[in-house]
Structure formats: C-alpha cells, structure tokens
Amino acid sequence: MGEDLKRMAELLKTGASMLEEACPQCGSPLFKLTSGEVYCAKCDRKVLIVKSDEEVPSALTPMALSTLEETLTVNLQRLEKAVRAETSPEALEGLLKLVNSHLEALERIRRIRRQS
C-alpha cells in the first residue's frame, strides 16, 4: 500500500470525508478534514478550493488576485532584464527558476479566476 493510500485511510479514520473535487496538482480525490480544511493525501498538503458561491478565502479575492498578478508581472519584467544582462550560467539558472515560479503563479491565478 502506497504512502498516499495509507494517509487516505488515516484521514477517513479521523472523520475526514472524501470530496467530489480532485486535487488540481495530481488529480487524486480531496478530503475535507474535520477542521474544515481540504487536503490532498497524495501531495500531502492542504488544497484551496475556490467556488463562486462559497466562502472564498480573503487572500484570494479578485482584488488580491489582481494586485498579485500586477506585482508578478512587474517582477517578471525586471527578471527579463536581469536574464538579458546576466552572463554567469549559475546566476542565470537561478533567475530562470524565479521566472518559472512567477509564470506558474500567474498561471494559477488565471486558473482560479476562471473557476470563480
């Protein structure tokens, strides 16, 4: 039995319920803990589910998302300049990792927005 299946079994034992929604990362069924938090047993992390007609966490209001998107976009422009100017391969690799995480975050923001 895999670690994730063990965790799922443990979760059910603690009174967690399996949800219809799947984890956006791995597609495994999500669990609602007795605390109300949503958890993915496979990724071993909490997952935020955003629905239009349910409680949207304050951090994910459209306003906060727009601000975050703007900040990330400005950062990306700075990173683009830095990437262009950088000559050290090591530093470049670090910069590209940052670019990548920014793009992932932007992609996620856009996905959340589509769902809401």
Binding to Zn ion by CB under 5 A, coded x per residue (else -) over 22-61, reads -x-xx-x-----------x-xx------------------
Q: How many residues form the binding site for Zn ion (CB under 5 A)?
A: 7
Residue 12: which residues within 8 A CB-CB, separation 6 or more? 18, 31
Instruction: Kindly tell me the burial class for residue 76, based on how many C-beta atoms sit within 10 Å of its own C-beta (0-12, 13-18, 19 or more).
Output: middle
Measured distance CA(53)–CA(74) in Å, rounded: 31
Q: How far is the CB of 44 from Zn ion (least distance, A)?
A: 8
Of 42 and 72, which has the nearer Cβ to Zn ion? 42
CB nearer Zn ion, residue 27 or residue 89: 27
Give whichever of 23 and 56 is closer to Zn ion, judged by the CB atom.
Answer: 23
What are the CB-based long-range contacts (under 8 Å, 24+) for 24-28? 24/111, 28/4
Contacts to Zn ion by CB under 5 A: 23, 25-26, 28, 40, 42-43
